[in-house]
Structure formats: C-alpha cells, structure tokens
Amino acid sequence: MGKAEKTRQFIIERAAPIFNRKGVAGTSISDILKATQLAKGGIYGNFSSKEEIVMEVFDYIAEEERQQLMKITATANTSVGKFEALFDYYATFPKHQRVGGGCPMLNFGVEADDTNPGLKKKVSELVLYYESRIAKMVQYGKEHGEFRADWDEKQFAVRMFTMLEGAILVSSVLGHNRQMMVVLDSLREEMKRHML
C-alpha cells in the first residue's frame, strides 16, 4: 500500500465510527478533520467529496461486519452450531462490534432513500447478502441431515434478518436487550421445529 492509499485508508477508518454514529447528514467535514488531525487539503487531496467518503466508509464498515460474522460462524462445524454462534453474538450486540455506532444497515439505511441512490443500492446489496448467508446456512443444514427438507430457507432468512434488525433498533432505543432476547428465543424455536 502506497502513501496515498494508506492516507485514504486512515481517513476511512477514522471517519467510519463518526458516520455510523452521527449519520451522513449529521457528519461534517470538520468532524473528519478533527478525527484525522488532517488539513482540508489532506481530505480533499484524497477524496473528491464527502459523498465519496461516505461510499468508501460504508464499504469499509460492511466488510468489517462481514468478516466479524464469518469469524463467529467459522467456529462451528454444523449449521445449528453456526446459528447458535450468531444468536450468542446478537444477544450482546453491539458489544463486540468492530466499528462502533450500532448497526450500519440501520444507520445508513435511514439515509439511503431516493436522495442517495448510490448508498441505497449499497445498503440493499448488503441486506440481500445477509439474507443469502442465512438461507445458505439453512440449506447446508438440510443437506447434512440437520433440518427437514421442507423448511423454506428463503422465507426464514427474510424473517430472521428482519427480526434481528428490528430488535437491534428497539434495543438501541430502549437501552436494554429484552426484545432481542424474545426475538432470539423465537428464532431458536423455529429452528428447533425444523430439526431432524
């Protein structure tokens, strides 16, 4: 990595938790200047606009989250074990989150409306990625004799993802994880109903 690439990466890493906490509209260039201790020329010498920083930051946070969840599920050899590892992670979310500030899909998704189609596309792709990962875990379990063949993995993936995102939002607003625990119990019960 050359000096320019290192500087870009440094800016992205320092800006990521700020954007994730304060949002796109709430984050100013002066916030990024303060976090990086760079002059304006240091920022604009590496990025053409705040919009470009936002897109790079979202990609960075999304990749960090992907890596974290892959690391969590990699510890288990079975589909059931992988789901349990995910449930344990979400029971304490955001305690072990790699980039602070809460769920990036919720945080960026709120601002990814029709005024920012590029960001909306990125958030949409990430949602579909997570749903596909959940569906693949169910499919793997079906192929390896853990789950019944008639379990609809795509519908479960939509339910699981949506329930977790809703629980993250409510837990964040209320400051406790009671709703998250109810959601996790419900997902465990559904999984158990489909186990062989």
Residue 27 within a domain? no
Long-range contacts of 153-162 (CB under 8 A, 24+ apart): 156/190, 157/131, 157/132, 158/131, 159/187, 159/190, 160/134, 160/187, 161/127, 161/130, 161/131, 161/134
- Mean pLDDT on 98-106: 84
Residue 8 within a domain? no
Query: How many domains does the chain contain in total?
Result: 1
Residue 44 within a domain? no
Question: Cα–Cα distance between 8 and 47 in angstroms, integer?
Answer: 8
Residue 111: closest CA among 103, 124, 101, 120:
120
Question: Cα–Cα distance between 175 and 53 in angstroms, integer?
Answer: 30
Q: Tell me the residue range of the domain where 87 lies.
A: 55-193
Sign of CA dihedral 162, 58, 109, 126: negative
- Is residue 172 pLDDT above 90, yes or no? no
Q: What is the CATH number of the domain that holds 85?
A: 1.10.357.10
- Is residue 196 pLDDT above 90, yes or no? yes
Residue 15 within a domain? no
> Given this model, what pLDDT does residue 93 score?
83
DSSP character at residue 47: -
Residue 2 within a domain? no
Residue 5 within a domain? no
- Mean pLDDT on 178-193: 97
Least confident of 2-6, 32-36, 88-92, 99-103: 99-103
Residue 175 within a domain? yes
Question: Cα–Cα distance between 19 and 178 in angstroms, integer?
Answer: 27
Residue 17 within a domain? no
